[in-house]
Amino acid sequence: MNKTIDLLLKNDVSKLKRPTKDVEITRLSELYGEPFVVTCQALTPSEFNELQESISINVEGNIELDNNIQVLTILKGTKDPDFKSKELMDHFSVPTPKDLVQKIFLSGEISSIYTTITDLSGFGKDSVKEIKNS
């Protein structure tokens, strides 16, 4: 049998968990006087596919990203805090989770959180390495 198949079959399926990572937003930590931590998690393939639906191809064949793709990724790839919390949205006087993310974070912070989520989801440069044939 194939070595890779053997490797998959001999290991516990429960070990295949979504990777998570905590990131601290230093500006908010300084503002609130204690660590402000966001727990990011990898996107599942179905979550990624939903995000792909936000991508369109224009007439010239160029890909156009919904300008909120980073925010949408954060909403799907953030474990804590829950930006869909009605209590949080009411507290910040915003109607939607997207508005909440944009009210709490600066553009660079949104970009950094987005990058963390995409790296966890396997899009980082170190996720896959090429093996030279011998």
127: DSSP letter: S
Q: What is the mean pLDDT of each run of 10 residues along the chain (134 residues)?
A: 82 86 98 98 93 66 65 95 97 96 96 95 81 71
Question: What are the residue ranges of helices labelled H in 34-105?
Answer: 45-52, 69-77, 86-91, 97-104
What pTM value is reported for the model?
A: 0.83
Query: Which pLDDT score, from 0 to 100, does residue 82 have?
Result: 96
Task: Determine the Cα angle at 43 with ends 132 and 75, to 5°.
Answer: 145
Query: Which pLDDT score, from 0 to 100, does residue 122 have?
Result: 92
Q: Looking at beta carbons, which pairs linking 125-133 to residues 24 or more positions away fall under 8 Å?
A: none
Domain assignment present for 72: yes
Judged on CB neighbours under 10 Å (0-12, 13-18, 19+), 17 is exposed
Domain assignment present for 24: yes
Q: Which domain holds residue 58?
A: 18-80+107-123
Domain count, the chain: 1
Domain assignment present for 88: no
Query: Which pLDDT score, from 0 to 100, does residue 65 have?
Result: 56
Distance from the first to the final alpha carbon of the chain: 21
Q: Which 3 state secondary structure label does DSSP give 42?
A: coil
Domain assignment present for 1: no
Domain assignment present for 57: yes
